[in-house]
Amino acid sequence: MQLNRVLVPSLAGLFFYMNDKLENIKKLNITKPLLLDCKQTVSNFPLAYETYGKLNENKDNAILVFHALTGDQFVSGINPVTKKEGWWNAAVGPNKAIDTNKYFVICANVIGGCMGSWGPKEINKKNNEPYGLNFPVITIKDIVKSQETLLEHLGIKKLLCATGGSMGGMQALQFCVTFPNRAFSAIPIACSTSHSAQNIALNELARQAVMADPVWDNGEYLKKNVQPKNGLAVARMVGHISYLSEKGMQEKFGRKLQEKADYEFSFNADFQVESYLRHQGYTFVERFDANSILYITRAMDYFDLSRQFDGGLVEAFKNQQTKFLVISFSSDWLYTTKENKETVIALNAAGADVSFAEIKTDKGHDSFLVNEPEFLKTMKGFIDSMHTKFKNEKRV
């Protein structure tokens, strides 16, 4: 943990710098009251979003992308806040699988997040302090409902496609269930209809890491302009392990040492894999809020579509007109092919139109974020063919 000592002085300043940047991003102030699952009603809160490409005259080319746990609205190109590549740059952009020359791509930062949308680091107008743990516990359904308001604002009655991977896939499923017939097609990628015990356990590990950091201070750290970065970094490391496959990790790192010929007989990062995790952990704290991790992982854990319908998953998908493409990755142990197939089975049982493909890859859960040609080709083919069908439907 010595590695990060250099970060300490700069961190508070950095956070303010980020907040400064956040002033310039697109935000919709949601005035329509939103009844949250926790029974609180909220209104007058910001939803930060970004769009790519142009909405055509017939409004038949809109694709809503939902981001995953640590993502944000900056899907493609360079993220203006972090100055790094957008999280789905591999898939979204001009001439890419989701071609922004043809399609109008929308992505909003989830509520509970920290890229400008209403979240625990925002100022609570009641006491002029950051919400911290006074922020309400939100759900995937709450997240999706807030984004539907954005579609209204943009004048989009029906999406060509709703898509996302991991937690983004859960949102895509929830969107179709909560707003039937608002999407012509949907691609839930590497996700499930409810969070498994293993996934809840991993999320709990991440939360415990944050909460075990004394700087966290019951979520009050922002009042002192600090971040519990050690805890947050460990939380991120847990995530990173779960995003790779055993084989992929072995091939990438093996037992290779980090820029040294022999063991140091210390607890510094001797192995490349250690160095990788530390790097991932400590770059993450520069762009993310620790309380957001707590809230968003909780939203994932609470996700259970069948529970919303008294245990009936088939009931959840009843009367779906949306055309689904479910995609899983063979080496994903976080959201396994078996879990993705359960979604397919339920959709089938409900009589929905569903396709399913398992992409064979060693890249684990992360496969949807990287350049995985077979995956991108499948997604592109589906969206393009759906666009043709959607145009025809609109014409009729």
State in angstroms the smallest separation of the CB of 173 from other proteins. 17
Cβ nearer to other proteins, comparing 293 with 379: 379
Which has the closest alpha carbon to 286: 73, 93, 79, 66?
Answer: 79
From 353, 370, 393, 394, residue interacting with other proteins (rule: CB under 8 A): 353
Q: Which of residues 311-350 bind other proteins (CB under 8 A)?
A: 323, 325, 341, 344-345, 348-349
223 contacts other proteins (rule: CB under 8 A): no
21 contacts other proteins (rule: CB under 8 A): no
Integer Cα distance of 40 and 240 in angstroms? 34
| Beta bridge partners of residue 51, listed in sequence order | 106
Q: Which of residues 101-160 bind other proteins (CB under 8 A)?
A: none
Does the active-site annotation cover 365? Answer: yes
From 202, 354, 369, 372, residue interacting with other proteins (rule: CB under 8 A): 354
Which has the closest alpha carbon to 226: 291, 276, 281, 297?
Answer: 291
- Which among 85-93, 147-155, 261-269, 383-391 is the span making contact with other proteins, rule CB under 8 A? 383-391
- Which among 55-63, 73-81, 299-307, 351-359 is the span making contact with other proteins, rule CB under 8 A? 351-359
Integer Cα distance of 3 and 80 in angstroms? 27
Does the active-site annotation cover 67? Answer: no
Integer Cα distance of 91 and 89 in angstroms? 5
100 vs 55, 104, 225, 246, 386, CA distance in Å?
Answer: 10, 6, 39, 35, 16
> Beta strands of 45-97 (E only): which ranges?
45-52, 62-65, 92-93
Cβ nearer to other proteins, comparing 349 with 370: 349
Reading the block at residue 160, the tokens are 């060509």
From 355, 367, 369, 372, residue interacting with other proteins (rule: CB under 8 A): 355
| Beta bridge partners of residue 355, listed in sequence order | 325
374 contacts other proteins (rule: CB under 8 A): yes
Q: What is the DSSP letter of 309?
A: T
Consecutive H or E run containing 129 = strand 129-130
User: Which residues are known catalytic residues?
Assistant: 166, 332, 365
Binding site for other proteins (CB under 8 A): 323, 325, 341, 344-345, 348-349, 351, 353-360, 374, 377-378, 380-382, 384-386, 388-389
